[in-house]
Amino acid sequence: MRILAFAASNSSKSINKQLVAHAADVLKADIITDADIEMLDINDYEMPIYSSDREEAGGIPDLAHQFAAKIGAADALLISFAEHNGYYSAAYKNLFDWTSRIDGKVYQDKPMVILATSPGPGGAASVLGSAKTSAPYFGADVKADLSVASFYDVFDMENGRIKDADIQAKLEAALATLK
């Protein structure tokens, strides 16, 4: 089973990248042991800010096609969303917008588990809720979602693991829906 995993953040210190990397490790170690997991960095898909003028002048950048092809080649997706002012990071929204110009079904009907975390008590639940609510419009088959609040309190940065047993159990249950 081919899993494409990424954080919807362009931060080199992204906590969502740390969370999704941990989730990928758990998935491979305990849940789908033959999973072939690719970690993608959205920084590798940075494009000029979407504009209809740019699209008319130059078409859709090849990077958007490459990102769509990565999704297309996967059997399932694992995404952790950073929350900026209640919504997607501008970096991910731009990638999403360009990719949606190829096909509105950006997620290509793939099963997916969506996560989100923030340093505060809100756990990036707003962006996670938006991603979940809008999922059907973008061909996303969301199997499970999990918001992790107060990331720095619950995550052991040194060892890359969740300290809180209850949250770890919830993560494992969410990942198991991809089996």
SS (H, E, C) the chain: CEEEEEEECCCCCCHHHHHHHHHHHHHHHHHCCCCEEEEECHHHHCCCCCCHHHHHHHCCCHHHHHHHHHHHHCCEEEEEECCECCECCHHHHHHHHHHHCCCCCCCCCEEEEEEEECCCCCCCHHHHHHHHHHHHHHCEEEEEEEEECCHHHHEECCCCEECCHHHHHHHHHHHHCCC
- Smallest gap from residue 15 Cβ to ligand FMN (A): 4
Residue 119 in contact with ligand FMN, rule: CB under 6 A: yes
Residue 114 in contact with ligand FMN, rule: CB under 6 A: no
From candidates 4, 9, 94, 171, binder to ligand FMN by CB under 6 A: 9
- Which of 129, 139 has the CB closer to ligand FMN? 129
- Smallest gap from residue 22 Cβ to ligand FMN (A): 13
- Binding letters toward ligand FMN, positions 67-106, x by CB under 6 A: ---------------xxxxx--------------------
Residue 160 in contact with ligand FMN, rule: CB under 6 A: no
Taken as a whole, the chain contains a residue count of: 179
Count of chain residues binding ligand FMN (CB under 6 A): 16
- Which of 62, 158 has the CB closer to ligand FMN? 158
Query: What's the CA gap between 58 and 69, in Å, rounded?
Result: 20
Residue 147 in contact with ligand FMN, rule: CB under 6 A: no
- Which of 9, 94 has the CB closer to ligand FMN? 9
Residue 145 in contact with ligand FMN, rule: CB under 6 A: no
Residues that bind ligand FMN (CB under 6 A): 7, 9, 11, 14-16, 82-86, 118-120, 122, 124
